[in-house]
């Protein structure tokens, strides 16, 4: 099951916004679903912004939204990375190459090209945080590199967004 990268209509909402992020290899779907149910139970409906990765934590969040968001008043706000295009921070063509070739079977860098811009995920994370949120709920997969999740944690923390991180150490709040 993939997550659509179609543009999302924006809205004005008085609901709290929760950024959810985590490893593309995150396997504990039940933990994510439990935390999202708890969020609704204790805080009421909210906007759930996630990175729309077709695997791991983002896909678990999308599946939860498909199953429960409409009935619980939650608004899903997926933010897929634009893996096909480079940003202004990328080296100009003809200088140091930075694009990476997709490995066979790569589902984590959707797009129409056989290469991807490694800066797309961090750019997407900057955009999710820059728009503001009431909290960031992050899920770290034991043994995985969790580079994007670490990047999102740093960005949210630096922006003053409270971070609730779940990992092999338990839960930390900053």
DSSP letter string, 101-159: EPPTT--SS-SSSSEE-TTHHHHHHHHHHHT--SEEEEEPPTTS--HHHHHHHHHHHHT
| Cβ contact 18:136 at 8 Å | yes
Q: Which of 63, 83, 53 is nearest to 146 (CA)?
A: 53
Residue 14 sits at the vertex; the CA angle it makes with 12 and 19, to the nearest 5 degrees, is 85
Q: What is the mean pLDDT of residues 103-108?
A: 94
pLDDT tens, residue by residue, 107-145: 999 999 999 999 999 999 999 999 999 999 999 999 999
- Name every residue whose Cβ is closer than 8 Å to that of residue 1 and which is 6 or more positions away in sequence: 54, 59, 63
Res 13: pLDDT: 59
For the cut 90, the answer to whether the pLDDT of residue 169 exceeds it is no
| CATH classification number, 16-84+120-173, choose in 3.30.1370.60, 3.10.310.30, 3.50.50.60, 3.40.50.450 | 3.40.50.450
Query: What are 18-55's pLDDT values in tens digits?
Result: 999 999 999 999 999 999 999 999 999 999 999 999 99
**Whole-number Å distance between alpha carbons of 63 and 75:** 13
pTM of the model: 0.89
Instruction: Please determine, for residue 4, whether its predicted confidence score (pLDDT) is greater than 50.
Output: no
- pLDDT given for residue 168 in this prediction: 85
Q: What pairing do the DSSP bridges indicate for beta strands 163-167 and 170-173?
A: antiparallel
Of 102, 103, 22, nearest to 62 by C-alpha is: 22
pLDDT tens for 146-168 read 999 999 999 999 999 999 999 98
Domain range summary for the chain, segments of one domain joined by +: 16-84+120-173
């Amino acid at each position: 099951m993939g997550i659509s990268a179609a543009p999302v209509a924006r809205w004005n909402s008085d609901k709290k916004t929760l950024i959810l992020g985590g490893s593309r290899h995150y396997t504990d779907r039940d933990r994510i679903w439990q935390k999202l149910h708890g969020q609704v139970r204790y805080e009421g409906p909210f906007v759930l912004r996630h990175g729309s990765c077709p695997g791991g934590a983002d896909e678990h969040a999308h599946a939860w939204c498909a199953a429960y968001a409409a009935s619980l008043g939650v608004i899903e706000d997926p933010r897929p990375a634009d893996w096909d295009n480079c940003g202004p921070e990328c080296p100009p063509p003809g200088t140091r190459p930075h694009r990476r070739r997709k490995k066979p079977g790569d589902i984590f860098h959707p797009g129409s090209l056989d290469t991807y811009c490694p800066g797309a995920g961090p750019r997407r994370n900057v955009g999710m945080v820059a728009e503001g949120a009431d909290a960031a709920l992050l899920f770290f997969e034991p043994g995985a590199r969790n580079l994007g999740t670490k990047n999102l944690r740093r960005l949210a923390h630096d922006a003053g967004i409270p971070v609730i991180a779940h990992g092999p150490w338990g839960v930390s709040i900053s």
